[in-house]
Amino acid sequence: MIAAADLEHCREAIRHGSLSFHAASKLLPASVRDPALALYAFCRLADDEVDLKKDKVASVLRLRDRLDLVYAGRPKAAPTDRAFAAMVDQFEMPRALPDALLEGLAWDAEERRYQTLSGVKDYAARVAAAVGAMMCVLMRVRDADALARACDLGVAMQLTNIARDVGEDALEGRIYLPLDWLEAAGIDPEAFLADPKPTKALRGLVKRLVMESNRLYMRSEAGVGALPLGCRPGIYGARFIYAGIGRQLTAMGYDSITARARTGTWQKLGWLGQSMLLSAAGMMMPTSPVLYARPQPEVQFLIDATARGAPQSTRSDTLISVLATLEARRQAQRAELTGQSVRPT
C-alpha cells in the first residue's frame, strides 16, 4: 500500500502540475484514484525532468536508473518514487509500460522529429497511450479491445497537446508536426522555428491534428463501457476536458502561436457533470461495435504487453539502443569537458 504521506505528496504535485487530470480524478473511486495519483505524479516528474532540465540526456539516464530501482524493489528515497514502486508492486504493472514512457522521453532528449503522422503516433503511444494502458491495469482491466480504446484516448490527448503547444515548442526549438505535412504546405521547418507565425498554412496543419484527435476521442468512447462502473465518469471526464482544449483551439482559428488554448473551471465542471450523466445513460446502452475496431498499429506493442495472459516483457531492444546512444553521448560530453578520449563500448 502507498504510505499516506507519500500519497499526499503525489496529490499536491498533481493539484499544481496537471489541472485536467486533477479535475477528472475526482470522479474516480478511491481504489483507483489513489494509485493513479502515484502514477501521474511519477509521469509528471519524468516529463518535467526532461522538459525543464537543460541536460536532457542526463535526465533520461537518471530516470532509467530510478525505474531500475523501482522494479528492483528498492526505490529512491523520495515520496514519488516510493509511491510509484508501491503501485507497481500492488498491481503487477508490466515493465514495458513505464519503459515505453522512458523511450518517448529519450526521443525528446535526442530532439527527434517525425516524418509522418504515424511517426508522431509512435511518439504519442509512448508518452501518452502507455499511461492509458497503465490506467487500465489500475482498473484491473486487461481486455485487449478495452486497451485499444484506452490507447486511442491517450494518443488523442497527446495530439491535442501537440496542437496546443506548437508555439511554445517552437520557442524551445522543437517541432512535433509531421514533416511531410510541413513540406506539403510549403513550410520550411528551420525557417518556421526561426520565426514562428500563425500563417494560414500553419493553422491548417493544427486543424488537421485537432481533427485527427477528435476522431480518436470518438473511437475511445466505445471502450468506456468496458471499464468498471465506478471508473467510467472519471475517464469520460478526462476525454471531455482534453477534447475541450481542441474546441478552444477551433474557436481561436487554430492559432496556437500567439496564444495558448485554455479551459476554465466552469467549463471543466460542466464536462464533469456531462460525464456523470453519460455514464449513467451508458448503463442502458448496448455495447458499441467500435469497441472491437482494430487497434492503431502504433500502440499494438502496448496491448501485447498488457493484455491478460501476455507474458511479462523485458526492456525492449529499441529502448536499449536509444539509451546506449544517450549514454555514449554523455560520455562524449564528459570527455570533451575533461579533454580525454572516449573508448568505444
Answer yes or no: is 343 within a domain.
Answer: no
Answer yes or no: is 345 within a domain.
Answer: no
Q: Does residue 237 register a pLDDT over 70?
A: yes
**Structural domains counted in the chain:** 1
The CATH number of whichever domain residue 71 belongs to comes to: 1.10.600.10
pLDDT at residue 96 in the model:
94
| Among the listed residues 17, 24, 51, the one whose alpha carbon sits nearest the alpha carbon of residue 243 | 24
Instruction: Report pTM.
Output: 0.91
Instruction: Tell how far CA 240 is from the center of its chain.
Output: 16
CB 129 within 8 A of CB 154: yes
pLDDT at residue 156 in the model:
97
pLDDT at residue 198 in the model:
95
pLDDT at residue 53 in the model:
80
* CA end-to-end distance (rounded Å), the chain: 41
- The DSSP symbol for 126 reads I
Instruction: Give residue-wise pLDDT tens across range 150-166.
Output: 999 999 999 999 999 99
Burial class of residue 222 (count of CB atoms within 10 Å of its CB; 0-12, 13-18, 19+)? buried
Instruction: Give residue-wise pLDDT tens across range 85-96.
Output: 999 999 999 999
Answer yes or no: is 212 within a domain.
Answer: yes
Answer yes or no: is 222 within a domain.
Answer: yes
Q: Which residue did the predictor score with more confidence, 205 or 316?
A: 205
| Among the listed residues 168, 162, 161, the one whose alpha carbon sits nearest the alpha carbon of residue 257 | 168
Answer yes or no: is 135 within a domain.
Answer: yes
Answer yes or no: is 344 within a domain.
Answer: no
Answer yes or no: is 253 within a domain.
Answer: yes
| Among the listed residues 238, 236, 235, 243, the one whose alpha carbon sits nearest the alpha carbon of residue 216 | 243
Answer yes or no: is 166 within a domain.
Answer: yes
Q: Does residue 50 register a pLDDT over 60?
A: yes
pLDDT at residue 281 in the model:
63
Range(s) of the domain holding residue 14: 4-338
Q: What is the CA radius of gyration of the chain?
A: 20
